[in-house]
Amino acid sequence: MKKNNRVYGILAVGAYMANFNADLSGYPKTTADNIILGSDKALKYPMKRMWMIQGEPVLYIKSMQIKEDKGGEKLQPRDLNERYSFLFGSLDEKTSSKEVLGKLFSAIDVMNFGATFAEKKQNISITGAVQINQGLNLYKDTEILVQDILSPFRNSNEKSEDKLASSMGTKIVTDEAHYVYSFSVNPANYHDYIGLANGFEGYTQEAYDKFKCAARVATTAFNTNSKSGCENELAVFIELKEESQLFLANLDRYVSAQRDGDHILYDLSKLAQALEPHYDQIQSVEIYCNLATIKVNCGSLPGKVESIY
């Protein structure tokens, strides 16, 4: 079923003794004024992983293959062409762009987040219906902890040949951080492609529902070394009426996160104020949170708070 109306919203991720998004130095990514932030990619990655595990076709994700090499068989990441062929069958110079476009849209990540595809004479750039912004850490008391960890091995370089101890490493985490992202879903981004791609009719309710589900739980479900301890805490979905072209930017401006005893309190009362003049264009507001750890002050927002799971 085609989805026509716009959605804006908030996604918040808590990181406890974890590093949600590290930069090159291993420290949490920061702005010049030292505010910790998480990129859109950091939030999208667990969603793509979740879809992949559910058996959905996901194009833009790292996958490995065995490559015959002079030195024997080696594990190697697929390139874009190989990944495309792995999912959708062969791609050569003669493949029509319409066919490629249709195949691209059949991948759930492309349907939601768009794609840049430049392979075999194709030059396709799709701005995704779902756009996720940078997520700033809104928690004031975040501390960065550097832990020394002991490696089970001696350093293998020549200088360490006579060393009697194994090498050391570090693990860098934040004691507690709360990343707040805002996002938008604009089905109009695909209007240009309707009729152009084989069998493509625009953004669908099914794709949105899969995004919505992943947005609520994917980070919690994802457990790598640095991201275990990161969990989805809050998800707000503001659906506009079908004809509305209202523009709302950076809704995370209106959110605050602070500790309230055992719970984290997300205050949405400013968001409610900001939305109030536009209620005639808003169809529904849904608020989900982890009821065990989170409290939400909804202010005058309509709709009740439900469990994120």
Partner 1 sequence: MKSIRFTLSGKAACFRQPDVNAQVYFTYNNIHKVALLGLLGAILGLSGYRNYKLYDQKEPDYPEFYQVLSSLYVAIIPNGENGYFTKKIQYFNNSVGYASKEQGGNLQVREQWLEHPSWTIFLAQNNLPDGTWDKLCHSLLHGQCIYIPYLGRNDFPAQIDAVSMVELTPTRASRIDSLFRFDGDLRALDGGGPSQYLFVENAPLALVRKHNFYEFARFIYTNGNIPIGYLPDHLYTDGQRQYYFY
| Piece in contact with partner 1 (CB under 8 A), picked from 145-153, 242-250, 262-270, 293-301 | 242-250
One-letter amino acid for residue 158 of the chain? E
Instruction: Establish if 124 lies at the interface with partner 1 (CB under 8 A).
Output: yes
Instruction: Establish if 81 lies at the interface with partner 1 (CB under 8 A).
Output: yes
By DSSP bridging, strand 282-289 and strand 124-127 are unpaired
**Rounded to whole angstroms, how far apart are CA atoms 69 and 67?**
6
One-letter amino acid for residue 212 of the chain? K
**H helical segments located in 106-183:** 108-113
Q: Which of 17, 80, 87, 221 binds partner 1 (CB under 8 A)?
A: 80
Nearest distance from C-beta of residue 55 to partner 1, angstroms: 20
Binding mask 283-302 for partner 1 (x = CB under 8 A): --------------------
Instruction: Establish if 33 lies at the interface with partner 1 (CB under 8 A).
Output: yes
Contacts for 82 with CB less than 8 Å, ≥ 6 apart: 65
**Rounded to whole angstroms, how far apart are CA atoms 296 and 51?**
28
Q: Which of 165, 196, 228, 258 binds partner 1 (CB under 8 A)?
A: 196
Please answer whether residues 143 and 235 qualify as being in contact, where contact means their C-beta atoms are separated by less than 8 angstroms.
no
Nearest distance from C-beta of residue 60 to partner 1, angstroms: 6
**Start-to-end Cα distance in the chain:** 25
Q: Which of 246, 265, 274, 291 binds partner 1 (CB under 8 A)?
A: 246
| Piece in contact with partner 1 (CB under 8 A), picked from 10-18, 37-45, 67-75, 297-305 | 37-45
Nearest distance from C-beta of residue 112 to partner 1, angstroms: 13
Instruction: Establish if 75 lies at the interface with partner 1 (CB under 8 A).
Output: no
Instruction: Establish if 144 lies at the interface with partner 1 (CB under 8 A).
Output: no
Please answer whether residues 258 and 137 qualify as being in contact, where contact means their C-beta atoms are separated by less than 8 angstroms.
no
| Piece in contact with partner 1 (CB under 8 A), picked from 72-80, 163-171, 206-214, 254-262 | 72-80
Closer of 254 and 288 to partner 1 (Cβ): 254
The one-character DSSP state at 281 is G
Binding mask 202-241 for partner 1 (x = CB under 8 A): ----------------------------------------
| Piece in contact with partner 1 (CB under 8 A), picked from 23-31, 165-173, 227-235, 286-294 | 23-31
Residues composing the chain: 309
Instruction: Establish if 23 lies at the interface with partner 1 (CB under 8 A).
Output: yes
**Token pair of 153 as six digits:** 């091995």
One-letter amino acid for residue 204 of the chain? T
Per-residue buried b or exposed e for 150-186, using 16+ beta carbons within 10 Å of the residue's own CB: eeeeeeeeeeeeeeeeeeeeeeebbebbbbbbbbbbb
One-letter amino acid for residue 24 of the chain? L
Distances from the Cα of 135 to the Cαs of 178, 203, 205, 217, in angstroms? Answer: 9, 25, 25, 17
Residue in the block written with tokens 């009740």: 304
Please answer whether residues 3 and 187 qualify as being in contact, where contact means their C-beta atoms are separated by less than 8 angstroms.
yes
Closer of 127 and 307 to partner 1 (Cβ): 127
Q: Which residues bind partner 1 (CB under 8 A)?
A: 23-24, 29, 31-33, 39-41, 60-63, 76-83, 97, 101, 119, 123-125, 127-128, 131-134, 136, 182, 184, 186, 188-189, 192, 196, 245-250, 278
